[in-house]
Structure 1
Amino acid sequence: MPPLHSVQALKHSDQLTSAETFGMAPLKLHYFEMPGRAEVARLCLTIGNVPHEEVLYEFKTWPEHKAKMPFGQIPVLELPDGKMLAQSGAIDRYTAKLAGLYPEDPLQAALADQAVFHLADTWDLYAPTFRMSPEEKVTARQELLAGKVGEKLQQLAKLLESSGEYVAGDKLSYGDIAIFAGLSNLVSGFLDGVPTNMMDQYPVLKAFRNKIASLPAIKAYYEKRGEGYRAAFKPDSA
């Protein structure tokens, strides 16, 4: 990927051609280059061939742009009329609906949401560690993995074992994409103290992550954009 300037727009030309299908100009997803909280929306937009662009920010220059965002944070999805949609949960659901990845059946939608909320609870356990010193971070994250985070991951594994092919039925939903992105982020090296081979301890989660990573559209995405943290988003090596 080319070096970032303070703000860089990435255009998805193959998706822009489908603008007529959606009857709108490309959406603009504002975030950093890293996967983080925008990866689910990126994948939904890509899988659904929803016309979009990315506006990428560098951490060092991000403070210059904060005031332009509704809540002073990103990700933010800029709509064709210029309105700005904030909060990753809202963005993920909106992009999933545009992409046909949010179930129409109320119960199936709730099952997808259930998985997403559980994963969010898991990641929230790490939030206090970001304010710690480097040494404290490693110790705290290892303790979490052996305790509360480990419990959450075991619960997720049980959920997947009882869900069938996908978390919301027999079709791929944004819930599956969120689990894939969350688990891949977890072992990407982004969290010091969390082993990159951690999935070996959770064979059900490892198998599910690899299944979603191997779907043609997702696999193709990371073949084009699989450097840095995103190397962990690729299918496991045979």
Structure 2
Amino acid sequence: MVDVISRPDSTPKLTLIYAKMQALAEPARMLLSYAGLAFEDVYAWDYYDKGWRDGAKQETPFGQVPVLVVDGTVSIDQSGAIQRYLSRLTGTCPADPLIAAQADALCDNAGELFVISNPVANFFTGERFEDRVASFKASFANRLKFFSRSLSSYDSGPFFFGDKPLFCDFTIFHHFQIAEALDSTIFREYPDVQTFMDAMATLPGMADYLSNRAQLIDVGTAPVLLKNGTRIKPGFN
């Protein structure tokens, strides 16, 4: 079992700013839901009270989202930095700096999948979708064996560092979910990865979050987010 940095006695006010898509804010939402920490989840144009292209983009630290605002004053951008900060609030950051660095590396390796997979799932259709999925699957097949090997490093499983999830598990889980949206059979030859996915989906707090969040549907044909019967077109408006 990996020792982790203890959760603080109190947590700051957290506001997560993003757009209409199921992408880079998901790991933070999942981690916060698992830990049972309250947070405000808002669109950028609502938080900054102006359209994305009418000034909201310029209000963010580097012109992009997600952004995590802490206590209404400090803004953190970059999904990896957000996840590392939240790991110290949620008891999912390894106490050993070396293990923490390994967890960071896994996050970065999973994050590299974003370049193709997240935009394809949220926006692409038709022949363009099929071409990008083929490219993604060819690239992902080579990476998947390394993720599987990393899973085997801790026999106590089913997570990457044993029987308790760390912050990196949530990042990997999100990107793997997007991979499944592109090809539902993508983990067929990796039962250890499928066991990991099943374990993540049934974690306390996670199951409720996954069932209640907006669902990304009609991937490849007319992707939309479905929330309480309302169809939301992905994007920045």
TM-score normalised per structure 2: 0.74
Q: Aligned to 1:85, what secondary structure does the other structure show?
A: strand
Aligned position for 2:71: 80
150 and 110 in structure 1: CA distance in 2 versus 1, 3 angstrom threshold: same
- Residue 31 (structure 1) aligned with residue 24 (structure 2): no
**1: CA distance between counterparts of 2:200 and 2:98?**
22
85 and 57 in structure 1: CA distance in 2 versus 1, 3 angstrom threshold: closer
Q: Per-residue deviation at 1:134?
A: 5.0
Aligned position for 1:114: 105
Q: Deviations over 1:72-114 (max 9, x none)?
A: 1100011114221111110111111111111111222123222
% identical equivalent positions: 28
- Residue 208 (structure 1) aligned with residue 196 (structure 2): yes
* RMSD value, Cα: 2.9
Match among 53, 56, 68 for residue 63 of structure 1: 53
Aligned position for 1:142: 134
TM-score normalised per structure 1: 0.73
Aligned position for 1:6: none
30 and 128 in structure 1: CA distance in 2 versus 1, 3 angstrom threshold: closer
213 and 84 in structure 1: CA distance in 2 versus 1, 3 angstrom threshold: same
Q: How many residues align?
A: 203
108 and 134 in structure 1: CA distance in 2 versus 1, 3 angstrom threshold: same
Q: RCO higher in 1 or 2 (8 Å CA, sep ≥ 6)?
A: 2
> Which stretches in structure 1 are left out of the alignment for 5+ residues?
1-19, 189-193, 232-238
Aligned position for 1:186: 179
Indicate the structure with greater helix content. Answer: 1
148 and 27 in structure 1: CA distance in 2 versus 1, 3 angstrom threshold: same
Paired AA for residue 169 in structure 2: D
* Runs of 4+ in structure 1 over 4 Å off: 125-134
Q: Are the equivalent residues in 1 in contact too, given 2:15–2:68 (CA < 8 A)?
A: yes
> Which stretches in structure 2 are left out of the alignment for 5+ residues?
1-7, 46-50, 218-224, 227-237
Q: Are the equivalent residues in 2 in contact too, given 1:111–1:168 (CA < 8 A)?
A: no
Q: Per-residue deviation at 1:160?
A: 1.1
Q: Are the equivalent residues in 2 in contact too, given 1:179–1:209 (CA < 8 A)?
A: no
